[in-house]
Amino acid sequence: MKKILLVVALAASLAAQQQQKKANRPSKEAGDDKRGYIDTPQLPNQKWKVHDAARSRPRKVTPGLPLLSEAPPSDAVVLFNGKDLSRWVSVPRGGEPRDPTWKVANGEIEIVPRTGRLVTKEKFGDCQLHVEWLIPREAPGAGQGRGNSGVELMMRYEIQVLESFENVTYADGQAASIYGQWPPLVNSSRPQGDWNVYDIFFEAPRFEGEKLVKPGYVTVVHNGVMVHHHKEILGRAIHRRVATYAPHAAEEPLSLQDHGYPIRYRNIWIRRLGQYDQP
């Protein structure tokens, strides 16, 4: 009898979860991840809503010649040297850190879908970050389902990785966007099968106890083209909702998002940014 009651309770719980998922799913009339949405909340101090269907897509700019994978500066922390993932752990959704299972071959990392994000063992605050990424030429999909990943500063503040040379999605979700907050100034994406380069300059937010005293700011250069210039971060990246801050430490790990697609990364290094007139 107890077993029957347990099975019934589990079935009822699962049914309730499925109903909640359906309730949270936007209707076709509200939009989708290609067109954008019309039913999302207003972004603070902007005329746009989150993932706004009416927001213009950034104009395309053809970047210059591919940037060479030069050696990092002497004071950089080399997070991926083309050989191993010794500076990283894997963190499955809702799970504990464990040894990484992403593939390493030919000097590249390849995401093994649905194994969890890759997280640095070391923590960082203000920083200069260099990351190179590639969407495989044969990758299918559309909208947010075509080569989706992300560079997550402090595991919270996401610079989107997505196929955006041809693929269309909402403006604040395309490649190089501050996800759900700001589109890039221009679209300087390279085609699938070509390497893209992010150079990211990040000022971490500051907290005093529970109070935010200074928001985070980010400058992003995508394939040699500046696409964000000291832009204020509104909070932690989140889908279809307004980003908000929650207090955290002055330094936190960097993470690469596993969104279920075999994106490749290489040549990842980071520099801590100090103050002027400091030895």
Summary mean pLDDT of the chain = 92
CA 235-164-154 angle, 5° bins:
25
Tens of pLDDT, residue by residue over 138-174, are 999 999 999 999 999 999 999 999 999 999 999 999 9
Alpha-carbon distance of 4 to 129, in angstroms, equals 55
> Residue 15's pLDDT is what?
47
Q: Is the pLDDT of residue 11 over 50?
A: no
Tens of pLDDT, residue by residue over 242-262, are 999 999 999 999 999 999 999
CA distances from 211 to 126, 179, 207, 246 (A): 19, 23, 5, 9
**Which residues have C-beta within 8 Å of that of residue 38, sequence separation ≥ 6?**
30, 31, 49, 52, 53, 54
Question: What does the domain layout of the chain look like in residue ranges?
Answer: 57-272
Q: Is the pLDDT of residue 210 over 70?
A: yes
Confidence of residue 29 (pLDDT cuts 50, 70, 90): confident
Residue (of 127, 156, 137) closest to 219 by Cα position: 127
Query: And the tokens for 140?
Result: 């299918």
Q: Is the pLDDT of residue 6 over 90?
A: no
Options 3.20.20.80, 1.10.1740.10, 2.60.120.260, 2.60.120.560; CATH for 57-272 is 2.60.120.560
> Residue 56's pLDDT is what?
97
* In the chain, alpha helices (H): 2-24
Q: Are 82 and 266 in contact (CB under 8 A)?
A: yes
What is the residue-wise DSSP string for 164-204? Answer: -SS----GGGSTT-BTTTB--SSB-PPPTTSEEEEEEEEE-
> Residue 3's pLDDT is what?
52
Q: Name the percent of the chain lying above pLDDT 70.
A: 91
> Residue 112's pLDDT is what?
97
Provide, for the chain, the percentages of residues in helix, strand and coil under a 3-state DSSP scheme, each rounded to the nearest 5: 10, 35, 55
Q: Is the pLDDT of residue 66 over 90?
A: no
Q: Are 184 and 174 in contact (CB under 8 A)?
A: yes
CA 200-203-208 angle, 5° bins:
155
pTM value is 0.90
Residue (of 201, 236, 205, 235) closest to 220 by Cα position: 201
